[in-house]
Chains A and B, each alone.
Chain A
Amino acid sequence: MSTKGYEAVIGLEIHAQLKTNSKMFCSDSTKFDAADNENTSPVSVGMPGTLPVVNKTAIEFSVKTGLALGCEIRRKSVFSRKNYFYPDLPKGYQISQYDEPLCEHGKITFKVDDVEKTVSITRAHMEEDAGKSNHFGEYTLINYNRSGIPLLEIVSGPDMRSAAEAAQYARTVRQVLRYLDVCDGNLEEGSLRCDCNVSVRKVGAEKFGTKVEIKNINSFRFVEKAIDFEIDRQIDAVERGEKILQETRLWDPDKNRTFSMRTKEDAQDYRYFPDPDLLPVILTGEQIEKFRQELPELPLARQQRFMTEHALPLYDAEVLTTERELADYFEETAKISGNSKAASNWIMTELLRELKNAEKSIVDSPIKPAALGKMVALIEKGTISGKMGKTVFQEMWASGQDPEEIVKAKGLVQITDTSAIEKIIDEVIAANPQQTADYRGGRVKLFGFFVGAVMKASKGQANPETVNQLLTKKLQG
């Protein structure tokens, strides 16, 4: 993508809150909706004399994420102090990793408008979150519940060239985190935060332009909008002969623009140094290998398997693997239904539509996969028709009842017995001599009328295919 001969250079820093029960360096709870300062302790409010102790699960989650992103895992990584003063950082420094991060040199592949794109992962390092400030003009209130929650900061290479690529990259990283079950990926609650580094340069230029960091973006749609705005703003500025300032800008979703928050402090101003309170994180080859063995099947691999094992078309496989829970739902449904493609169709059309309308996630679906699988199986066996299936589906959605019970209670049994259907057809033909004569005289459009009449006479229970076949034969006389 280029405008006026310029191209954008975009890199993302994604902060993923790791889904541990307790914090990175102390045993405070990480629950999101706790009361003010409920999840704090002397360590997380930075009282003198306290010491950090590493959370084992946070290390495990970080290593697994690194492996899933194709990173090399450093056998020895070091926690450093990043020094700056702000009231939400009670110790006066954030424990982070600097020159020896846990994960490095990874990459991730995804598709943008059907074109494959690979983005490098420069590094992923562990750090602790800061507290939360609320500003009231005359004073500021601080809540340290978030202080010390484990974060993994995933830094991409400056490899993206459009807002769409950046947004898709972020979605893909989120998908991997959710497959690993190490982060719930909720941008609105802040469990996933996305900072975008954007610069522009003339197409063909080797040197990067001055980069601007955009923060405060709480949806993927805004990632795209904010970057697009910033690209245009920078190109216009350069065209006017202005210099781009290295600064941090915030995204204002109401006004659809970015605005300057602060000019960037130089990296050395944070005065990083190894934290003397913490030992290096040492990992053995066996430990890393064990984590690798424990990795779940990742989205791309699962998509491939859905195409080979379940013979699904690419589109179905892509949609069904967007979320791990949805992929699990499909597999369970498919197994019981005996027809993977039919199961896929019901999920992709009926179920996803209902879930979207009800603003529910797949986990909260009132129809469980076992029930949907059973319903598809009933259609497969010919017990009920596809049309009856829709009635059963609606009833299952509303009541959560078992499909077989619904079929029984509503008397929704499909008549497949040919002689029974023939009898109904004979009656319909006998009752409509005029239409029969017209049809035989060449008004073939009347066929639909007969199908309707037969279905009505059978109370909708006749197998439509059988009706079509027999009716064609009988009407020919």
Chain B
Amino acid sequence: MIDHKALEHIAHLAKLYVSETEAQEFASQLSKALGHFEQISKVDTKGVEPLVTPSEVEAYWRPDEVKKELTAEEIVANAPARTGNLFTVPPVV
């Protein structure tokens, strides 16, 4: 069950503002989703190794070589705010 308090905690971690009505609504929606997983977790998985990835392909590791695709100007070009070639963001401290 996701109660009001748990929902507020999740919203806080996700840096989301959730109104009182939304909180009610989301709590019941998330509880349903969680209930679904609870149902899945009833399956007996004794002796089954946890699955990290379903793909059996061999991992590709790239050689340690430097490549330059974009300039600093291009990287910051779409930023909502910039100072020179730095990203400008609201104060965090």
State the A residues within 8 Å of B (CB).
20-22, 27-29, 35-38, 40-42, 45, 53-59, 78, 83-87, 133-144, 269, 271, 274, 276, 279-282
Contacts and interface: CB of A to CB of B under 8 A. Distances in A.
A86 B92 contact: yes
B43 interface: no
Contacts of A53: 60-62
Contact of B91 (A20, A58, A139): A139
9 tightest A-B contacts by CB? A57-B64, A27-B67, A56-B61, A279-B59, A37-B72, A141-B86, A142-B87, A36-B85, A87-B89
A38 B53 contact: no
Contacts of A36: 72, 84-86
Nearest to B83: A141
A36 B76 CA distance: 10
B70 interface: yes
A38 B83 CA distance: 14
Contact of A140 (B14, B65, B92): B92
B5 interface: no
Contact of B88 (A22, A140, A144, A281): A140
B72 A55 contact: no
A185 B67 CA distance: 25
Nearest to B63: A56
B91 A280 contact: no
Nearest to B88: A139
Given A56-B61, A137-B91, A281-B59, A45 B53 contact: no
A280 B90 contact: no
A28 B85 CA distance: 16
Nearest to A277: B53
B55 A141 contact: no
A56 B62 contact: yes
Q: Looking at chain B's contact residues, is the secondary structure mostly helix, strand, loop, or mixed? A: loop
A54 B58 CA distance: 12
Given A27-B62, A137-B91, 8 more contacts: A22-B66, A27-B68, A53-B61, A55-B64, A56-B63, A58-B64, A135-B91, A279-B53
18 contacts: A22-B65, A27-B65, A27-B68, A36-B86, A37-B72, A37-B76, A40-B75, A41-B70, A53-B61, A54-B59, A54-B61, A85-B13, A135-B92, A139-B81, A140-B92, A140-B93, A142-B88, A276-B53
A142 B89 contact: yes
A140 B57 contact: no
A92 to B, nearest CB: 9
A76 B89 CA distance: 39
A35 B53 CA distance: 38
Nearest to A83: B13
Given A27-B62, A59-B61, A140 B91 contact: yes
Contact of B92 (A42, A57, A133): A133
A48 to B, nearest CB: 12
Interface in B23-82: 52-53, 55, 57-70, 72, 75-76, 81
Nearest to B76: A37
B61 A21 contact: no
Given A27-B62, A56-B63, A135-B92, A41 B69 contact: yes
Given A36-B72, A41-B75, A279-B55, A140 B61 contact: no
Contacts of A133: 92
Contact of B61 (A55, A85, A276): A55
A21 B15 CA distance: 35
A143 B81 CA distance: 13
A441 B59 CA distance: 92
Nearest to B16: A85
Contact of A20 (B64, B75, B89): B64
Given A22-B65, A27-B62, A54-B61, A45 B75 contact: yes
A144 B90 CA distance: 16
Contacts of B13: 83-85, 269, 271
B65 A21 contact: yes
A141 B88 contact: yes
A85 B12 CA distance: 10
A281 B58 CA distance: 9
Contacts of A29: 66, 68
A420 to B, nearest CB: 64
Contacts of A281: 59
Contacts of B15: 85
Contacts of A84: 13
Nearest to A270: B13
Nearest to A99: B50
Nearest to B81: A139
B72 A35 contact: yes
B69 A42 contact: yes
A58 B61 CA distance: 10
